[in-house]
Structure 1
Amino acid sequence: MEARLETEVCVIGGGPAGAALALRLARLGHAVCVVERHAFPRSHVGESLTPGVWPLLDALGVVDEVRRGGFLPALESLVCWEEPTGRRVRGRAGEPGLLVDRGRFDALLLGAAASAGVRVLQPAVAQRPERTADGWELPVLHEGRRLVVSARFLADASGRTACLGGRKQMVSARTLALYGYWRGDTPHGPETRVEAGPDGWYWGAHLPDGTFNAMAFVDPELLRERGIGRRTLESFYRELLGRSSLLEAWTAPRLVGSVLACDATCYRDTVPIERDRIKVGEASFSIDPLSSSGVQKALQTALSGAVAVHTLLARPEHAEAALRFYTEDQRSSAEQHAAWAAGYYRDARSYQERPFWKRRALAPAAVAPLEVRPPLSEDGLSHRRWRLASDAALVDTPCIVGDVIELRRAVSHPRLGRPVAYLEGVELAPLVDWLGQVPGEGLTMPQLADSWARRMPFRRSVAIMGWLYRQGLLTEVTADGPR
């Protein structure tokens, strides 16, 4: 008789996105099973984590485990980008970024999920899932036998392969990453290295196991033009690195193992969530590796995805809000990262006419640029009269409220990337409602802030008023009317 496993949520893929989603859903009270193809620890590229990862690790409750993981702090970078000469860039004050062994890091997250009660099938091969009247059935090959996992909800965290399929929309030029691991006699400094070149860019970093990962990001067309195949990949990779200063991180550098290649093209899935399934991590969208934020974004999609899934399962009356929230969140993130990356590609002025750089500097800005406004502290400015801008409006938008997603009124404006419902923990809608009733002659900034004193501390009202002013949501009223 065929073995069966019943669960509420089945997650395909146990990388950072899958493990984080499973961990969070388990803590929200759901029965969760993870199906992971590989035994851990596994080799995986993507070892650089920005400081922005710490709040996400804290939300997952794994900060202490990561601190004890023996990973290296990323304190300084040697950057050759805007100009040919390099400059040293130190991280901001506070927690540094990390250079991790992805094998150990991924195992740590999946272990935390298992400790929270998640059933982990590993190594196990997920086959083609099928929808049923009650959810999904997923055939799995595990420990030499066939097992059918029955689940109410299915999550695809299988990475770029995206076992649930779907249509991916490219948001960057096609990019190929070539990489290898190096050792040498003497390391020259622990800094991460980032460098622009005529036909691509380079990244290199020392890793916890004593190796140095050197990567080159190029157009796939360059390999086709040169007729590069498996047999000539290593020589081409060495040629690329020879045009950079990456290997100056070592005395007598020598390659350890084979040269590898992986797709680094940016894309987003056009339908990342439905009522009975979701895609997280790179199954949903991929960002430019220039940001070194791939793992961070994977964790963010998992955390926002967990709230969306929890809402669909526990509060189905808010299903439309959950679907819209996750879809808009993914689209906004992909667009913002594409615009950010395009700006940095434009900054490589030495190569701006080269095809590689031209293709990547074309992404449109995600948000219209703000006009430069003088600070509120400027003499006389705070005593001018103001009212709500005519193009500001309140719209219903999905928001996280506790552990579920509900519709809330939010302020919308052409200069905002997306509607904003809360600021500094304060709901904006009642404040904007009141601003819309300010008389035509307007009020001064102190008068506006003082009118909110019953709702919140005066300092907080001043801070919110300042934000509205900087975002262009307040219009000055003059003798000739608003301007």
Structure 2
Amino acid sequence: MKRFPKTFDVFVLGAGPAGLCAAIRLLDMGYTVGMLEQEEFPRSQIGESLSPGIRNIFDYLNAGHLLEDAMYLNTISAKVIWENKGHIYERLGQNNGGIIVDRRKLDQELLQFSVSKGLYLIQPGKLKQSVNDQNGWTLDIVHNSSEIRINSKLVLDARGRKGTLLNERVPIAPPAIAVWTHIDNNAVFNEAFVEAVDDGWLWGSPVCGNRYRIMAFTDTVQFKKSELHLLDLMRKTELFAPFVNQLKDNAVESCSVTSFVSQMPWNNQFIKIGEAAFTLDPLSSTGVEKAMRFSLQAAIAINTYLKNPDSEHPKNFYEEKLIESVVNHAHWTTDYYQNAWACHDKTEFWIKRINFRLDISNHKTAFTNKLEKEFNTEKSIFDHKQTAPIPVDYILHQLWNEEIAVSPNITFKSVYAIDNDCIVIKQALMHPNLERPLVYLDQVELFPLLKSMNSKPVSDIVIYLNKFMTIEKSKKIAVFLLSNQLLTVAQNSCSLR
């Protein structure tokens, strides 16, 4: 093991995708980063089904080659029974879509990639204690029967569910449990299955190693002996019932999959990421992707903090993004559960999920108070009016010499944005035709653009944008602003407010 620095900028606990993603990004920013992993690799890990967005993240980290493995499974199609009990929906596999990986292999290779970039690693090892003072954190680590003392300005906790104690978890969904097993596949079954039943739902998919995984998600209250419960649920299905006789004496495993968020995810520069901060409902197949994506946002917050430890922006930005992820995911899962045919039978599993209410009475912190406010805010349904392709050239031809004015319905609000890997305050555009406040449009900052273009002809917008991007992109941005009525043909000019 190479000689460790006396003090790290950031020390990461846990070598899963979230921790490694943050470590790689921080190493690229020039920081000294260390990591502790308790287990030896390769290790068994479920969560092999990765959503399509994972590819962009790996490419961004310059690690895209790690997903190019002949044993990984791409473009898996699926049969789904969800909204209608008697109808099988065929979901075709898409090019450059999701991917089934071997997490034993991928996690190990991602760790090796991180070490090659300069990560200092202790593996295996165990955190004995952590102490905070004005200089940061002191970590006492047991490694090979000896004790190592580490000093770090910040600690990133990426230990998954193990990184959050039970009494620190705020449930954001009803309790749930996963029960799963494998059968030999040998390429007999090459598509995934998803099916809702009265007491839960099931997912099946080919996985690496010529196996087919069958997994059920059900209520902890109704959970019985795992083997029997899984078989009972499978017998109620159309898609999984044919597998029942193939299980024989196959080992059946179970674990809690209750969704939660940490009540104090950023505490004295001890910062939780990945599943230590927030666990998704298993209904989503985007767990790894969202954990890594949030790690990238956390890395921006950490970079901003290390440059200016007195700034309030890093923690506020981090908490804002975490709350946004929690609330959006909770609303999405509620809507998806409501669409299931079994929900209309009003069985306990389904009713709990569509009627869930956040309770922070035993977890009151500054963070959970902000979470509660956002969680219980009714979200307006945005009407996506634009369906047909926009005739860009035709619109510009008609309006090319027309003087434009900024819509009187536009307002601006101060929001957090990212500039040069740091958190800054920017003015975001707000308008009834926009789903959310908008700071940038295709990397163009809107506030100074509109301020400078008021009372100018449409042609000036296109010419100005063409200084920074292709003419085609310039025209599309101009037409977006016009077609959404953010800019209008001038009658009386109006100023930004």
TM-score per shorter chain, which class? 0.7 to 0.9
Secondary structure in 2 matching 1:309: helix
Q: 1:380 to 1:427 in 2, by over 3 A?
A: closer
Question: Match of 1:425?
Answer: 443
Give the distance between the partners of 1:119 and 1:63, measured in 2 at CA.
22
Counterpart amino acid of 1:213? R
Counterpart amino acid of 2:441? L
Query: Does residue 372 of structure 1 match 2:385?
Result: yes
Residue from 247, 254, 264 that aligns with 1:254: 247
Question: Match of 2:79?
Answer: 78
TM-score (norm 1): 0.84
Residue 426 of structure 1 and its aligned partner are, at CA, apart by 0.8
Q: 1:478 to 1:271 in 2, by over 3 A?
A: farther
Give the distance between the partners of 1:365 and 1:102, measured in 2 at CA.
38
CA contact (8 A) 1:21 1:306 kept: yes
Counterpart amino acid of 2:43? R
Residue from 293, 296, 301 that aligns with 1:300: 293
Give the distance between the partners of 2:489 and 2:90, measured in 1 at CA.
43
Deviations 1:64-108 (A, max 9, x none): 12213621114311111112221221133x413111122112112
Residue 266 of structure 1 and its aligned partner are, at CA, apart by 2.3
Question: Match of 1:238?
Answer: 231
Counterpart amino acid of 1:176? I
Secondary structure in 1 matching 2:129: coil
Which is further off, 78-87 or 384-393?
384-393
CA contact (8 A) 1:20 1:303 kept: yes
Secondary structure in 2 matching 1:221: coil
Question: Match of 1:23?
Answer: 24
Q: 1:15 to 1:219 in 2, by over 3 A?
A: same
Residue from 451, 461, 483 that aligns with 1:452: 461
Residue from 391, 404, 408 that aligns with 2:422: 404
CA contact (8 A) 1:51 1:96 kept: yes
Give the distance between the partners of 2:355 and 2:404, measured in 1 at CA.
38
Question: Match of 1:11?
Answer: 12
Residue from 91, 94, 99 that aligns with 2:93: 91
CA contact (8 A) 2:197 2:233 kept: no
Give the distance between the partners of 1:68 and 1:419, measured in 2 at CA.
40
Residue 270 of structure 1 and its aligned partner are, at CA, apart by 4.7
Residue 465 of structure 1 and its aligned partner are, at CA, apart by 4.6
Residue 292 of structure 1 and its aligned partner are, at CA, apart by 0.4
Residue 281 of structure 1 and its aligned partner are, at CA, apart by 0.5
Give the distance between the partners of 1:66 and 1:56, measured in 2 at CA.
11
Question: Match of 2:260?
Answer: 267
Which is further off, 248-257 or 146-155?
248-257
Give the distance between the partners of 1:338 and 1:470, measured in 2 at CA.
32
Question: Match of 1:138?
Answer: 139
Residue from 329, 340, 351 that aligns with 2:321: 329
Q: 1:386 to 1:365 in 2, by over 3 A?
A: farther
Residue from 305, 312, 323 that aligns with 2:305: 312
Residue 189 of structure 1 and its aligned partner are, at CA, apart by 2.9
Question: Match of 2:363?
Answer: none
The structure with more strand, counted as a fraction of residues = 1
CA contact (8 A) 1:345 1:360 kept: yes
Counterpart amino acid of 2:459? D
Residue 330 of structure 1 and its aligned partner are, at CA, apart by 1.6
Question: Match of 2:361?
Answer: none
Deviations 1:19-40 (A, max 9, x none): 1111221121111111111111
Report percent identity of matched pairs.
Answer: 28
Counterpart amino acid of 2:426? R
Counterpart amino acid of 1:402? N
Question: Match of 1:442?
Answer: none
Give the distance between the partners of 2:457 and 2:234, measured in 1 at CA.
59
Give the distance between the partners of 1:398 and 1:126, measured in 2 at CA.
35
Give the distance between the partners of 2:304 and 2:182, measured in 1 at CA.
44
Deviations 1:184-233 (A, max 9, x none): 5x65431111111111111111111112211111111222xxxx3xxx22
Matches within 5 A, 1:25-424: 25-68=26-69, 70-84=71-85, 85-92=87-94, 94-163=95-164, 167-183=168-184, 187-223=187-223, 228=224, 232-247=225-240, 253-254=246-247, 258-273=251-266, 276-316=269-309, 319-354=311-346, 355-362=348-355, 366=379, 368-370=381-383, 372=385, 388=406, 390-413=408-431, 418-424=436-442
Task: Mark the runs of 5 or more structure 1 residues left unpaired by the alignment.
Answer: 439-446
Question: Match of 2:370?
Answer: none
Question: Match of 1:441?
Answer: none
Q: 1:188 to 1:252 in 2, by over 3 A?
A: farther
Give the distance between the partners of 2:265 and 2:483, measured in 1 at CA.
34
Q: 1:43 to 1:472 in 2, by over 3 A?
A: farther
Q: 1:415 to 1:174 in 2, by over 3 A?
A: farther
Q: 1:418 to 1:123 in 2, by over 3 A?
A: farther
Residue 175 of structure 1 and its aligned partner are, at CA, apart by 1.8
Secondary structure in 2 matching 1:68: coil
Counterpart amino acid of 2:203? W
Residue 48 of structure 1 and its aligned partner are, at CA, apart by 0.5
Question: Match of 2:364?
Answer: none
Give the distance between the partners of 1:293 and 1:121, measured in 2 at CA.
29
Residue 385 of structure 1 and its aligned partner are, at CA, apart by 11
Residue 41 of structure 1 and its aligned partner are, at CA, apart by 1.2
CA contact (8 A) 2:71 2:208 kept: yes
Deviations 1:399-437 (A, max 9, x none): 2212222222221346756432111121111234357x5
Give the distance between the partners of 2:218 and 2:129, measured in 1 at CA.
34
Give the distance between the partners of 1:166 and 1:326, measured in 2 at CA.
22
Q: 1:234 to 1:251 in 2, by over 3 A?
A: closer
Deviations 1:425-466 (A, max 9, x none): 21111234357x56xxxxxxxx86434134213644543355
Residue 341 of structure 1 and its aligned partner are, at CA, apart by 1.9
Residue 118 of structure 1 and its aligned partner are, at CA, apart by 0.8
Which is further off, 64-73 or 134-143?
64-73
CA contact (8 A) 1:18 1:280 kept: yes
Residue 259 of structure 1 and its aligned partner are, at CA, apart by 2.0
Give the distance between the partners of 2:490 and 2:72, measured in 1 at CA.
56
CA contact (8 A) 2:187 2:210 kept: no
Which is further off, 214-223 or 61-70?
61-70
Give the distance between the partners of 2:166 and 2:139, measured in 1 at CA.
15
CA contact (8 A) 2:179 2:252 kept: yes
